[in-house]
Structure 1
Amino acid sequence: MAGLKTIIVLSFILAIGFLLVILSAALYKNFLTLLVVATYVIAPIPNWLCGRASSQDDFMDSGSSSIVELGRFMTGFLVVMGVALPVVLAHCDLIRPEAMIMSIIGGLLIYSTIISFTMFFHQEEEF
């Protein structure tokens, strides 16, 4: 059971992640690094949707469903894109390397906080 301290710590880490991404955009006057926030916020959605779409049958459990694997693949793709996008933008000299580093660290903090929130506050459905 997650308590109030868990919520406070995760909120603090999320705020630091957003602060790093916003500062990477504002300090270097290039707002392309804000695309990282979109990829990390959208990343858990395919996993959640595909997990809901798979049928949970108590009598026939075939291991893993292909729809669940598709959701995991799309989530993994979006997470890798969130890291690779600032690297590609810095390689093309569209953003500065310092902004790239701040954006990657902030994005990873945001995504890890989202995953931690869902892990700590996940409730099993009982019939």
Structure 2
Amino acid sequence: MAGIKALVGLSFSGAIGLTFLLLGCALEQYGVYWPLFVLIFHVICPIPTFISRRLSDDVDSTSNACRELAYFFTTGIVVSAFGLPIIMARTDLIQWGACGLVMASNAVIFLTVLGFFLVFGRGDDFSWEQW
């Protein structure tokens, strides 16, 4: 039952993050949909971790080259997702208010992804692999 509550909580926080993103695009004073390109980063963020967990042999090891490379790529993806709205705002492609909403969206969605891996990545009887 605790896993179902975690799944509902994660989906609720993901919906809040997507609401911030859509507000940054669709509010009347902003009115441009360029910030939706951040969705690409939201989709590809967990892929390196999924690949490294699939290829990793030693789960109990504190240092694994494959896992460290996946953390490096994931960090680059997250930093790029936070940098893209700032670059768009500095080039006057979007307004700074929209940039703030997209940054809030990034924070909520990436914390949701982190929560997913913390809740479902332990490898116990209730893991994401059974879904």
**TM bucket, shorter chain:** 0.7 to 0.9
Partner of 1:100: 99
Query: TM-score, normalising length from structure 2?
Result: 0.81
Quick one: which amino acid aligns to residue 87 of structure 1? I
Quick check: 1:49 aligned with 2:51? yes
Point out the more displaced range, 114-123 or 94-103. 114-123
Instruction: Report how many aligned residue pairs link the two structures.
Output: 123
1:111 aligns with 2:110: yes
Task: Give the one of 18, 37, 40 matched to 2:39.
Answer: 37
Q: How far apart are 1:125 and its partner, in Å? A: 6.5
Match of 2:123 in 1: 124
Instruction: Give the percent of matched residue pairs that are identical in Structure 1 and Structure 2.
Output: 34
Q: Is the 8 A contact 1:40 1:111 kept in 2?
A: yes
SS at match of 2:2: coil
Unaligned runs of 5+ in 1: none
User: What amino acid is the match of 2:33?
Assistant: F
Structure 1 residue 65: Cα displacement: 2.5
More contact order relative to length (CA 8 Å, sep ≥ 6): 1
- Cα distance in 2, alignment partners of residues 3 and 67 from structure 1: 28
Contact 1:25/1:31 (<8 A) preserved: yes
- Bigger radius of gyration among the two: 1
Cα drift, residue 57 of structure 1: 7.9
Change (3 A) 1:4 1:68: closer
TM, length-normalised to structure 1: 0.83
Runs of 4+ in 1 over 4 A off after TM superposition: none
In 2: Cα distance, 1:25 partner to 1:67 partner: 37
1:122 Cα shift? 2.5
